[in-house]
Every structure is written in C-alpha cells, then in structure tokens.
C-alpha cells in the first residue's frame, strides 16, 4: 500500500483531474494522491512528466491510451488486485472524457476493485461557463461529425462539442446548416494567457475566422438552445448580418450563411440583400 508522509491510500484506481492549461489549477488533493500512489497511468508520458516535474513528483509512469488499452488493462487490474494504488490521468482535464478510461473503470467494478475520483478541471464545464450560454441543461457531444449534428439538431438544450482548429472552419459551416436558430461560442486557450471567447451568430463567427485565420490547438464549441431571438430577428439585425457577410462573401454565399443562422427562407434573405445593394 502506497504511503508517504503518513498518508495512506486504499489500494484501487484513482481518477485524478489535472490542469487543462494553467498548472496552478491542480488541487491539493490531486497532488497528495499523485505523490502517494504506486504508479501513474497516463495518455502520453512526455506530457504527464511536465506536470509531475513542476511539482517534483517522481513516480513510475505507464502509457494507457486508445491504441494499447486492451493490452495494458490487464496489467493495471493486476497491480490493483495485488494491493497497489494506481492513478489514471489524461493529458489534460478530467479522465474518461473523450478517452478510453471508462473501460478500465468498468473492469474494476466487475472485479470488485476500489474506484474513486479526485475532481478538478474540465474543459467541458470551463467552456460551458465561459460561453455565457444557459447552464441549467446541457449535452456534451465530444468530437462529432455531420451525422451527429443531424441527430442532435432537434435537441433544444445547450450543446457542447470538442473540435480541432484544422476542422473548425468546416465544422462551423456545417453546424450553421444543422443548428438553425442558435448562437455559437468558440472558446480556446482556456485558463491560459491568450484565453479567448468568440460568440455570436454562425455568420458572425464564421466571418471572423475567415478574416483572422483559425485558432491553434483544440477548442470548445458551445451552441445555445433554440430561442426566439434568432428565429425571429428584427429587420435591423438581418441587415447588420447581411452587411457583415457581404463584406467578404458573394451575395449567394452571404445569403446562405445568414438564412442558415437565422432559420429564415433563403429567398427572403436574398431579396433583402438585393434591396440593400440598391439602397447603398
């Protein structure tokens, strides 16, 4: 049984949340657990060593990820069964969220092994809070695709997605078609120096990234529930969105973006775009 400085941990699997950016966000309980375990299972040992080195923690590391989980799981289960304390961490944030840890937890329960959780940072919750969207009901969809968008489009609650920077532009355009009548927020660099929240209609956010380039790293995308503000916008709001879209798009593409974002007939938006051109 692991022990250091008088702290004794019960043999089992300890799911420990780690910082998603700022190393100062780790909890005291997480540090105590990391210091007093027997072994740490992590996604990438190179990433985890940076965190452990920052807090002078020297423990054996074993790699546990999508590609080797089936081979490593019996080894981890055996360590716990023979009285060891195993900590599971992800590269950042709360383990089991978009990683293979849930299968390890299931096997621990089947083997009647102790499992506990040391809570802490989560990009899902941080992104939701920073988005300014309704937090009373929400659904986390992870890394999704076009098929998932269609399935989720009828769910009238706040939706949270993970996305890579490379896919962000294409994903936002597809979301604009699937999730009409919603506001979008793109959150990046959470807890870091250049933390940023970009929010508005799909047309506004898409235009911003087309003009300024896509962000680096991974981002959290949060969609508002369907609401009347976007389903029934004023003529002034329609005109503002059209002017913004027409500044960098053809009239055809601008009308497609605005009609999709506002859930209004494209023919209606196209007619208004022609009127604006005549007026201006």
For residues 231-240, b (16+ Cβ closer than 10 Å) or e, as one string?
Answer: eebeeeebbb
Q: Please state, in angstroms and rounded to a whole number, the distance separating the CA atoms of residues 34 and 139.
A: 31
CATH assignment of 3-121? 3.40.1010.10
- Give residue 228's pLDDT: 39
**Mean pLDDT confidence for 227-234:** 52
From the candidate CATH numbers 3.30.950.10, 3.30.565.10, 3.30.110.60, 3.40.50.920, the one assigned to the domain spanning 124-228: 3.30.950.10
Task: Give the pLDDT score at 248.
Answer: 85
Model pLDDT, residue 135: 93
For residue 277, what pLDDT is reported? 83
**Beta partners for residue 116, in sequence order:** 14
Task: Locate the domains of the chain by residue range.
Answer: 3-121, 124-228, 233-279
C-alpha R_g of the chain: 23
Beta strands in the chain (DSSP E): 3-4, 7-8, 12-16, 39-42, 61-63, 85-88, 115-118, 138-143, 158-164, 184-188, 196-200, 218-223
Return the residue matching tokens 């605005």: 258
Q: Are 129 and 220 in contact (CB under 8 A)?
A: no
3-state SS class at 194 = coil
Q: Say if residues 4 and 36 touch (Cβ distance below 8 Å).
A: yes
pLDDT tens-digit profile of 14-69? 999 999 999 999 999 999 999 999 999 999 999 999 999 999 999 999 999 989 99
Q: How far apart are CA 146 and CA 151, in angstroms?
A: 9
The pLDDT > 90 percentage for the chain reads 70
In 3D space, the residue among 192, 187, 173, 172 whose CA is nearest the CA of residue 218 turns out to be 187
Please state the φ and ψ torsions of residue 142, each to the nearest 5 degrees: 60, -145
Higher pLDDT, 247 or 144: 144
- Token pair in block for residue 192: 């870091």
Q: How far apart are CA 155 and CA 145, in angstroms?
A: 16
Judge whether 3-121 and 124-228 match in fold. Answer: no
């Amino acid at each position: 049984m692991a022990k250091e400085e008088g702290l004794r941990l019960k043999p089992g699997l300890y799911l420990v949340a780690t910082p998603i950016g700022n190393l100062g966000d780790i909890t005291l309980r997480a540090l105590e657990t990391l210091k007093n375990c027997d072994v740490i299972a992590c996604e990438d040992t190179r990433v985890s060593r940076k965190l452990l080195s920052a807090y002078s923690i020297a423990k054996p590391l074993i790699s546990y990820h999508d590609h080797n989980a089936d081979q490593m799981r019996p080894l981890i289960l055996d360590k716990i069964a023979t009285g060891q304390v195993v900590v599971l961490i992800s590269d950042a944030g709360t383990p089991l969220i978009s990683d293979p840890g849930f299968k390890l937890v299931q096997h621990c329960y089947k083997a009647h092994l102790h499992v506990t959780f040391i809570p802490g940072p989560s990009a899902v919750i941080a992104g939701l809070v920073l988005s300014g969207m309704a937090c009373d009901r929400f659904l986390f969809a992870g890394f999704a695709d076009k098929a998932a968008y269609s399935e989720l489009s009828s769910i009238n609650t706040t939706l949270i997605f993970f996305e890579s920077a490379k896919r962000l532009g294409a994903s936002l355009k597809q979301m604009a078609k699937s999730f009409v009548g919603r506001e979008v927020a793109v959150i990046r660099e959470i807890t870091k120096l250049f933390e940023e929240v970009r929010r508005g209609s799909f047309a506004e956010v898409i235009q911003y990234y087309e003009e300024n380039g896509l962000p680096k790293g991974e981002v959290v995308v949060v969609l508002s529930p369907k609401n009347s503000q976007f389903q029934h916008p004023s003529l002034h709001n329609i005109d503002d969105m059209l002017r913004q879209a027409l500044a960098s798009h053809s009239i055809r593409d601008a009308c497609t973006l605005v009609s999709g974002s506002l859930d209004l007939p494209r023919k209606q938006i196209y007619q208004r775009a022609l009127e604006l051109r005549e007026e201006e």
